[in-house]
Structure 1
Amino acid sequence: MKSYSIYILTCALLVTACPIKGKAQNQELAIRILADSSLTVVDNLAKSVIKEGFNAGSGYSQIWARDFNTLIETSLEVRSKEDVRGAILLFFALQQKNDEMVDGYVLKKDFTWNDNTPYYSDAAPGHVGFKNTVETDQETSLIQLVGKYIKKTGDVGLLDEKVAGLTVLNRIEKMIDYLLRERYNKQYGLLWGAMTADWGDVQPHDTFGCDWNELSNEAIDVYDNAMLIIALQYLIDVVPDKHKTEQWAKLKKSVYQNVRKYLWDAKNQKFIPHIYPDKSPIPAGFDENTIFYHGGTAVAIEAGLLSKKEIAAVNKKMVENVKLSGMPSIGLTLYPTYPEGFFTGGMSKPYNYQNGGDWTWFGARMIQQLIANGFVKEAYEEVRPMIDRVVKNKGFYEWYGQGDVPSGSGKFKGSAGVLSKAIVQFKNWAAANQKKSL
């Protein structure tokens, strides 16, 4: 009886002690985060880079919706609301007659590259639009951009702003109609695009690789559909019309269910790379489902597609992939890479560009989601390579190759934006946990 009583007492003490231990660990981590000067250095550097403008970065004069979407919050801290608002409205001025949205735009004088299909609009006579038509994330990126702007500024009036006779909200509705009309597979109830590597904009069998053509393969992936889910949630959050929000909620639920049904591989705790409704471009003897997509998985977590247990599982796999690949961080696009020669050009070699390159632009989105879902310790450990290389290089490179060699734009603002946002999350979490200790 005595030993049984001691057992019960011991169990009770353990149950009581665990929350105390967890609280102490959080407070210790909070102190470390708040004392980490490198986070402040990187955040300040990010703000100074983004303050220079909304273009994608050095080497890019263009303003892209997919990039702007990832630096909008920081932009609103270092640029005027009017500047940001005007840059957003210009996208809507370039909306095409078939309701599609451009990837981005540039001043006519800066349109210097070869493009067979530039996009023009009478509502934006001084600019030229462009679009990588292998993608299906332009409309959803712009909707998210609008949602983030409204949430941060409270400027709901943007939705009623008229652009060439139509309100922004009207134009957003037309963008969704375009996606459901032109990029929606009825069999699976999901959006499709061309086959690319994860979230990328380059298809394999084409030298240029960014335009839909006879070499393209229709493919359904998690990234495009997660982006739609996130976009619909922003609309539900910021649009006051209950009838419209109910319709979007219904569409969101359907896409969510179909992603889980067709794209989530429960056995292997990962998303399958692609569904090919028609012909598959994958060479015989290569199993594409061995590939783990890091970027699309991070965006899927943002879309609420994974449980906390599943988030822990995919994060563990990402960390393992980094070790196996020898790459520097979980910004690793995918692992294992596509076979050498599968893509043309630079991507034909493994660990180049989107075929296994390391992109903070998406890696830091995973960091954001780890923090948001309570994995702060893991997030802090996994962000270190991203923070350290910014400090070392005094800048935000577009992507990194093997050996952490920087490549692409030296001032890639998407990377600056996602890291700045993650740092704000770290500091907010740390401040809240330090208060609990007082």
Structure 2
Amino acid sequence: MKKYQIYVLYSAFLVAACPTQGKAQNQELAAQILADSSLTLVGNMAKDVIKEGFNAGSGYSQIWARDFNTLIETSLDVRSKADVRGAILLFFALQQKNNEMVDGYVLKKDFTWNDDTPYYSSAAPGHVGFKNTVETDQETSLIQLVGKYVEKTGDVDLLNEKVAGLTVLTRIEKMIAYLMLERYNKQYGLLWGAMTADWGDVQPHDTFGCDWNELSNEAIDVYDNAMFIIALQYLINIVPDKQKVEQWTQLKKGIYKNVRKHLWDAKNQKFIPHIYPGKSPIPAGFDENTIFYHGGTAIAIEAGLLSKDEIATVNKKMVENVRLSGMPSIGLTLYPTYPEGFFTGGMSKPYNYQNGGDWTWFGARMIQQLIANGFVKEAYEEVRPMIDRVVKNKGFYEWYGKGNIPDGSGKFKGSAGVLSKAIVQFKDWAAANQKR
């Protein structure tokens, strides 16, 4: 049996399990889920918006790896495998000479914004690449994207496809080498990026905020490293080479160990926001460790970094944070927010954008992990605000502010993708637990 087949079977087992509830309760919840027409409606709406293309959404002509990674499964349901495959391969055609990967790409004719450092490649002459260099999730997002594609389609041959003379797998190995050379802190044994809010791509002290510069602060967080763990696990699942698998397994174990050692605050049952190997940007008198990162915690659960008891604890904290903040859902980026004025621009105000805005794009990933780890009742209760606002607003908005006011792209495909996947999980679980 192929490794990706084993993984699919294991995922199905996780979805079917629900240790927090008895059989009768499971059957009652299953019946409720199967009768919930709003889940079907939102699932169909998600397919319709993702069918339109792989770009991030209305207002975004670009195709981003971090977005595409969260809508790949639904994309394969509504678009041809050839279309999806081609969109993935174009990322590898834009890999740079230092082996780094771009954030995403766009047709040259659509490259209309001001960017001092566009990325070009002779292997993709019709496109322009771009990258928010404060981030460290581009390479790991693309590896996950490849892993999900291979597991859903069985197209392992993608790894042997040559792009500008090198196979996709070779290019992936070079991407990992780039991370270990350019974004690996040897003291802590973890990846680093610039200081941003949780999983965000905006640093605090300059107007644009997305490019590494003299105002950046090196920071280590759980999101970047959890994304790396997940990426390595996908490679372990889909690549048949035992020697490579052993190397990735040891690397994954090291990252896992160091995340638990340096980033998990056992006393407070939360991840610390950042380690600053150099100068800290945090103002005197403000304790950053009072902040709970919702998005990074959800990705950490996906990476297997928390036990079932710890998942239950952090989920309760998220629900309580929603209550205290007055925000609409566990898509709340973080709580409490950074002080007013700490970030420049719109994020200087609390509960704006990544400084406490509510993002289904990450909230629904927490829902996915609750289902996968047996907390289906909690997941169904906590997904309701996300489902209800899609129905009310007739679309998938990028983020929500105070009062559940929608903002950003009105067709944000990342939000559609993660909700679509969660709805499939709900229905699969309900089908397995319904009364016979």
Answer whether TM exceeds 0.5 for this pair: yes
Is residue 175 from structure 1 mapped to residue 205 from structure 2 by the alignment?
A: no
Quote the Cα distance in structure 2 between the aligned partners of 1:159 and 1:22.
43
* Structure 2 SS opposite 1:145: helix
For 1:217, the equivalent position in structure 2 comes to 217
Quote the Cα distance in structure 2 between the aligned partners of 1:317 and 1:269.
9
For 2:16, the equivalent position in structure 1 comes to none
Quote the Cα distance in structure 1 between the aligned partners of 2:431 and 2:44.
19
For 1:348, the equivalent position in structure 2 comes to 348
For 2:369, the equivalent position in structure 1 comes to 369
Quote the Cα distance in structure 1 between the aligned partners of 2:117 and 2:289.
34
For 2:389, the equivalent position in structure 1 comes to 389
Task: Give CA-to-partner distance per residue, 1:104-141, whole Å, 9 cap, x none.
Answer: 00000000000000000000000000000000000000
Quote the Cα distance in structure 2 between the aligned partners of 1:126 and 1:142.
20
For 1:30, the equivalent position in structure 2 comes to 30
- Compute the displacement of 1:390 (Å): 0.1
Task: Give CA-to-partner distance per residue, 1:292-329, whole Å, 9 cap, x none.
Answer: 00000000000000000000000000000000000000
Quote the Cα distance in structure 2 between the aligned partners of 1:24 and 1:55.
43
* Structure 2 SS opposite 1:128: strand
For 1:54, the equivalent position in structure 2 comes to 54
Quote the Cα distance in structure 2 between the aligned partners of 1:22 and 1:425.
19
- Compute the displacement of 1:20 (Å): 12
Q: TM-score, normalised by structure 2?
A: 0.95
For 1:8, the equivalent position in structure 2 comes to none
For 2:150, the equivalent position in structure 1 comes to 150
- Give the letter for the 2:33 counterpart: I
- Give the letter for the 2:431 counterpart: A
Q: Is the 8 A contact 2:328 2:358 kept in 1?
A: yes
For 1:68, the equivalent position in structure 2 comes to 68
Which structure 2 residues correspond to residues 13-28 of structure 1 after superposition, within 5 A? 22-28=22-28
Q: Select the structure with the greater relative contact order (CA < 8 A; seq sep ≥ 6).
A: 2
- Compute the displacement of 1:21 (Å): 7.6
| 277 and 384 in structure 1: CA distance in 2 versus 1, 3 angstrom threshold | same
- Give the letter for the 2:416 counterpart: A
- Compute the displacement of 1:245 (Å): 0.5
Moved over 3 A (4+): none
Task: Give CA-to-partner distance per residue, 1:231-282, whole Å, 9 cap, x none.
Answer: 0000000001000000000000000000000000000000000000000000
* Structure 2 SS opposite 1:223: helix
Task: Give CA-to-partner distance per residue, 1:374-400, whole Å, 9 cap, x none.
Answer: 000000000000000000001000000
For 1:159, the equivalent position in structure 2 comes to 159
- Give the letter for the 2:303 counterpart: A
For 1:431, the equivalent position in structure 2 comes to 431
For 1:281, the equivalent position in structure 2 comes to 281
Quote the Cα distance in structure 1 between the aligned partners of 2:313 and 2:410.
33
For 2:306, the equivalent position in structure 1 comes to 306
| 20 and 53 in structure 1: CA distance in 2 versus 1, 3 angstrom threshold | closer
- Give the letter for the 1:296 counterpart: G
Task: Give CA-to-partner distance per residue, 1:194-241, whole Å, 9 cap, x none.
Answer: 000000000000100000000000000000000000000000000010
For 2:107, the equivalent position in structure 1 comes to 107
* Structure 2 SS opposite 1:200: coil
For 1:327, the equivalent position in structure 2 comes to 327
| 320 and 167 in structure 1: CA distance in 2 versus 1, 3 angstrom threshold | same
Quote the Cα distance in structure 2 between the aligned partners of 1:100 and 1:287.
34
Quote the Cα distance in structure 2 between the aligned partners of 1:20 and 1:383.
18
- Give the letter for the 2:65 counterpart: A
Quote the Cα distance in structure 2 between the aligned partners of 1:65 and 1:277.
28
- Give the letter for the 2:325 counterpart: S
For 2:337, the equivalent position in structure 1 comes to 337
Quote the Cα distance in structure 1 between the aligned partners of 2:140 and 2:289.
26
Q: Is the 8 A contact 2:20 2:374 kept in 1?
A: no
- Give the letter for the 1:284 counterpart: A
Q: Is the 8 A contact 2:57 2:411 kept in 1?
A: yes
Gaps of 5+ in 1: 1-18
For 1:7, the equivalent position in structure 2 comes to none
